Structure 1
Amino acid sequence: PQLRRAIEECKRVILALPEHSERQKDAVVRLIHLRLKLQELKDPGEDEPNIRVVLEHRFYKEKSKSVKQMCDKCSTIIWGLIQTWYTCTGCYYRCHSKCLPLVSRPCVRAQVSHQAEYQLSICPESGLDSQDYRCAECRAPISLRGVPSEARQCDYTGLYYCSSCHWNDLAVVPARAIHNWDFEPRKVSRCSMRYLALMVSRPVLKLREINPLLFNYVEELVEIR
């Protein structure tokens, strides 16, 4: 309770001080330290198990305290000095210890192992209504107006995601490369980004069967035909 009161008092001081003044900057730094201290009390982490298995993820507790990462679940910073965090050894999904029970994305490496194939339709959209106006991954409410959360389309799956599951990462989309010889990176969800990264070295595309005409129009392919 005392720490929470100190945080609220610090907020009031920040609002009362002249904007961009040195005193206000000092107060902001103090507020950050107070909030981190509060988080430390919530997340002691010493008794956390070293290995956790969730949705085929094999999470290992990280030892590094100096590396600053972003949590794949809540999209906030992982402060390694005071917070316990885990990394999946398969797909490198990272999250706070407190976010582990909330993880909704299955391990992408497990998905690749079970069914290693690409989506070969270009951005196969079916509309937000088909998703019940919810994120395709975590099922949070979304809309194109950004209320309560912005709907972001993944160019690989054609599905819509919330801003926590879609960080506007860019990736080359296989369907566009195969059908249009288009290698311009497009915005994809976090899940698609990891999936494409894990699939890139797998020889699963039979280009002659999928688009044989490409060999007549692309000079590089004509040479190797």
Structure 2
Amino acid sequence: MADRRKCPECGVSVKLENLASHYEKQHPRAKVPDDLTEEATQATRVAQATHRPRRATTASERRLYLVGAVIVVIIVVAAIVVQSLGSGLVGKPAPDFTLSASDGSGNVDLARYRGRVVLLDFMATTCEFCQVFTRDTLAPMHTGADGSKFVILSIDINKEGDTVTTGNPRIERFKTDYGATWTYALDTTGISSNPYGVRGTPTHYIIDKDGIIRDYSQGAESVADLTARLSKYW
């Protein structure tokens, strides 16, 4: 708030930086008192420093702002598209696939699990959210009281670009590190992740006993939240 003083001549409250002009207009024959003159001069300097005109943006700066705005729009649109890809499958039959289990135990065939509720988990071993989700949510649920009511299938989408020879040992180390004792498979070609529109990890689908996709979500979840969604289809 601007500092104000009462004019000694007329008693009107005036901003200090405007005191000199007030005297010139209202009291041209009077002189501003010396003490007020010094205060007014200082106030004028402060006001001028505070209200310096803003430097006009250059053409290159305006282009930079425009590029930034376009990037934000692209990110938002991409997020919407990715979300719609997954949610658009809800209520439809789950696309089938066959992969090799990472532990060498045989094939992972989604159709084989008809009659069971399936939590299909698309993940990556280097994804920190996947690590937390596996350790804090999936592992406790798998070994908990409700673990027999559903099946977890985790598919590594191969962000590392591995072959089965190098990728499977990596997955097995991940399982040991994060307490995962269910079936994992490595997808080196996108045969499973592409039909499900997977663009990020973790992405998970709930598939009912009839093989219909009933729910879809991205990101880590708590045990309570995921159990609440799964239990609708037990």
Question: Where is the strand percentage greater, Structure 1 or Structure 2?
Answer: 2
Question: Where is the helix percentage greater, Structure 1 or Structure 2?
Answer: 2
Task: Report if TM-score (shorter chain) is over 0.5.
Answer: no
- Structure number with the bigger relative contact order (C-alpha 8 A, sep ≥ 6) is 2
TM-score (norm 1): 0.23
Query: Is the radius of gyration larger for structure 1 or structure 2?
Result: 2
